[in-house]
Amino acid sequence: MQIRLILCTLAVLLLASCGGGGSVPDGNRDPDNGDPVVTEPNLADPSEVQNPRAILPTAAVLWPAQGGGPGNSSRTGMKLPDDQPAIASITSVSDLTSSSARIGPDGNILVGAGSLLQKFSPDGYLLWQRSLLRQLNGRPSIDSSGQCVIASGDPSWMDSAQRGNWVEAIDPAGQTRWRWDSGDYAAVVYGMRDDGSVLVRSAQDRFSMLSSAGGVLWQAQLNAFALYGVAFDGAGRVYGGSDTTALFCLDADGEQLWQYNPADVDPTTLTTNSRMLHPDGSIVLLTGREGDAQSFHVSIVGNDGQLIDEWPCLEVFSLSGASEAGEIMLLDRESGLHSYSLSGELLSSFSPGYGLPFGVNVNSTPRYYSVQAQPDDFSEYLLAAIDSNGSELWRLSSMWSFRFPVDGANGLLYCGDEQSFFALDSLGRRHWQQIHGDRLNGLSVSSNGRIYSSGGRNLYAFDGNGRQLWQISADGEIHSTPALLPGGQLAFGDSEGFFYFYEDNGTRISKYILDGSVASSPAVAADGSLYVGTTTGELYSFGADLSPLRQFHADSGIRSTPAIDGDGTVFVATEDGHVHAVFSDGVEAWEYNLGEPLAGQLVLGDGFRLFGATANGRVFAIHAYDGSLLWDHFIGQDIAGGLALHSDGSLLVATDNGAGRREVPQLEKDGSGRGLYCLSPEGSVQWSLNGPYSFSSQPLVDASGPICFEAGGWLVCVDSTGKELWRLQAGFEDDVTAAAPLSDGRLAVCSGTQLLIVE
């Protein structure tokens, strides 16, 4: 079969791109014969590389990824219809973890956050960010010019034999300068020299030194699978360890000069193998095996490979650095920080007395930073600053683990946790904080082509090509998409009970406090008035001028979007199974009790039919005029994504029993199991599609008739009779959770933290 997926031409692109796939110019030497090779990379086609756009003063901009074309065709033997859609662009709005940070020569901060690379100014302004489509393999490296080098690659869902892995250089403006392919082996950057050249893995036991322009300077066979703790001296020599050698030294051309293993130690059994360059030019080596306290010791080795001194350190687990006086700082498992002389004399020792060490950073001499977790249940994480005398300066507590604190300018400390990235002043107070978003919760498309979606506490605005225009943060979680008002304004509520009105440029108009939290999208009437329900059962209304008008109180919470007819009558469903009809003046017209909780929102059809469904699988129609029950059909499956009305008047119902699997959909019409049902306005089943997977999102019905829905991680499109037109595997972070049609016939689709534009 042919499935058109994103990154479809990536294998071809990488083979023709920089480094591994390029031809060697005449006059260069063969690395297999021990000769260094200098090659310049072949840059990818600019249209295939993520390129930054101009940044507005108050907007964070994201860039579309590569996409389109047939690919991954060996995954299944299914026969698909012709003219499959392509993913034209991907925009990743967030990631759940701040993994690492580096300070550039200009003082700006580069942050690796899962599959995002972000650049902040020292005062917290987001300058740009890149969606890399894959978790970063290590912290970013930055040279003196501000060029950043990272290890990245294809999404993890691709077959291992087809994965591309590459080292990528990004200039200070966010532009890709070059990529270097590492083939079937995961790309790893082990370290960067002062001139910007980087040491990377290029095969199972081959390691390459790349220039700052992406050319291969030399390659070395080291009989090792991975390297540990690589360091460079001023002469260009490389010091490191591997899974077979505790310490080795390469010269500036990649030739091995010597290797060192402590006496009576099998290097393949070491669980601790770290090293650092001492200010006097020697190498400090820390080795040991966890659980064997007597095996831990420090070796002082000269740059000629000769042992100078060694001494036991009694199960100290990590090297923390060296003081200005040349003292060696070691961190033990009880978070004690110890100072030793080069001859092994213990000079000082102190411990904060709490937690287990998760990391330490001593880039600044006066302060040491310890990231620790409470040892009992890991319910609290502590970030502590300690002076050189062992006195605690301050501590910061969080329920989220802190990540790699680094010192910045003006006494600021930059750090991330699993929800945000922030700067702390010298007293541990937050100077600024950037909160990550979360998984996107749905889509709204305005008449001018803008796309809006919420995630976590954030609301995002995108243009029609998927580029982010701006984002704003609410006080609480936003569980729905905003309502779009006739004047172009946006309206939405949050979990803290606040209700907001915004201009379409991200400027807030007003903010109200409601009784109860808002769990659904507001509904807009034909006259421009707006209605929203809360979890305490209050139905609020606002006029076309955005002023509050009146409210209606129900006996149970309202968690679904109201439905409004042409006369302004509002229909709301409550958690206890009641349906209320409320006139525009706030007076209740009628009430119907279904006796069980409702699922999804109510849908108004022709002939005064009001459709709804219960969580246990009942689909019903009520007469909108008097509240009488017209029909009640029991499907027998949980209603998952809600209801949608087709242009021919039929009703589409997506079901799910909660045990869906990410399998290739084998759609069976009128079969058994969970599926998509099409019911006539009178309640009879016209057709159903079933299979061993989840229908977890609300069906999307195009005005021209096609029906799109999610099924086990696939986006499937059928016509009004249930015949399949096409399908597309998003295959990124999650199932497709939302879809919305754009005016030009394309689709905007949410998948986890990513917005996809499907052609």
- Which domains does the chain carry? 1-69+98-221 (2.40.128.630)
Structure tokens of 538?
Answer: 């209050």
Looking at 67-71, 423-427, 522-526, 685-689, which range is the least confident one? 67-71
> Look-up: residue for tokens 């609300």?
698
CB–CB of 758/88 below 8 Å? yes
Q: Greater confidence, 556 or 26?
A: 556
CB–CB of 582/570 below 8 Å? yes
pLDDT band per the 50, 70, 90 thresholds, residue 668:
low
Report DSSP state, residue 290.
Answer: T
pLDDT in tens, 408-449: 767 788 888 777 888 888 888 888 877 776 778 888 999 888
pLDDT band per the 50, 70, 90 thresholds, residue 705:
confident
Question: What's the rounded Cα separation, in Å, for the pair 601 and 573?
Answer: 7
Structure tokens of 644?
Answer: 């949608």
Instruction: Report how many helices (DSSP H) and strands (DSSP E) the chain contains, helices first.
Output: 1, 65
Range 87-102 burial, b when 16+ CB lie within 10 A, else e: bbbbbbbbbbbbbbbb
Q: Greater confidence, 642 or 288?
A: 288
Q: Greater confidence, 178 or 696?
A: 178
Average confidence (pLDDT) over 389-400: 78
Question: What's the rounded Cα separation, in Å, for the pair 700 and 180?
Answer: 41
Average confidence (pLDDT) over 79-95: 64
pLDDT in tens, 576-602: 889 999 998 889 999 999 888 887 789
Query: What was the pLDDT predicted at 691?
Result: 63
pLDDT band per the 50, 70, 90 thresholds, residue 535:
very high
> Look-up: residue for tokens 């020569």?
105
Q: Greater confidence, 319 or 663?
A: 319
Query: What was the pLDDT predicted at 498?
Result: 93
pLDDT in tens, 305-316: 999 999 998 777
pLDDT in tens, 154-167: 444 333 334 457 88
Average confidence (pLDDT) over 526-543: 94
Residue 365 pLDDT > 90: no
Residue 54: burial class (beta carbons within 10 Å; 0-12, 13-18, 19+): exposed
pLDDT in tens, 122-146: 888 778 777 665 667 677 899 999 9
pLDDT in tens, 29-86: 333 444 333 333 333 322 222 222 222 222 222 222 222 222 222 222 334 455 667 7
pLDDT band per the 50, 70, 90 thresholds, residue 624:
very high
Query: What was the pLDDT predicted at 694?
Result: 61
**4, 1, 2: which is closest to 730 by C-alpha?**
4
CB–CB of 20/182 below 8 Å? yes
What is the β-pairing status of strands 483-484 and 490-493? antiparallel
Amino acid code (one letter) for 384: A
Amino acid code (one letter) for 391: S
Query: What was the pLDDT predicted at 176?
Result: 82
Average confidence (pLDDT) over 486-498: 93
**693, 699, 690: which is closest to 737 by C-alpha?**
699
Looking at 74-83, 322-331, 640-649, 750-759, which range is the least confident one? 74-83
What would the DSSP string read from start to end of 197-218?
A: -EEEE-SSSEEEEEPTTS-EEE
pLDDT in tens, 706-719: 888 777 667 778 88
pLDDT in tens, 269-300: 888 888 999 989 999 999 988 888 888 899 99
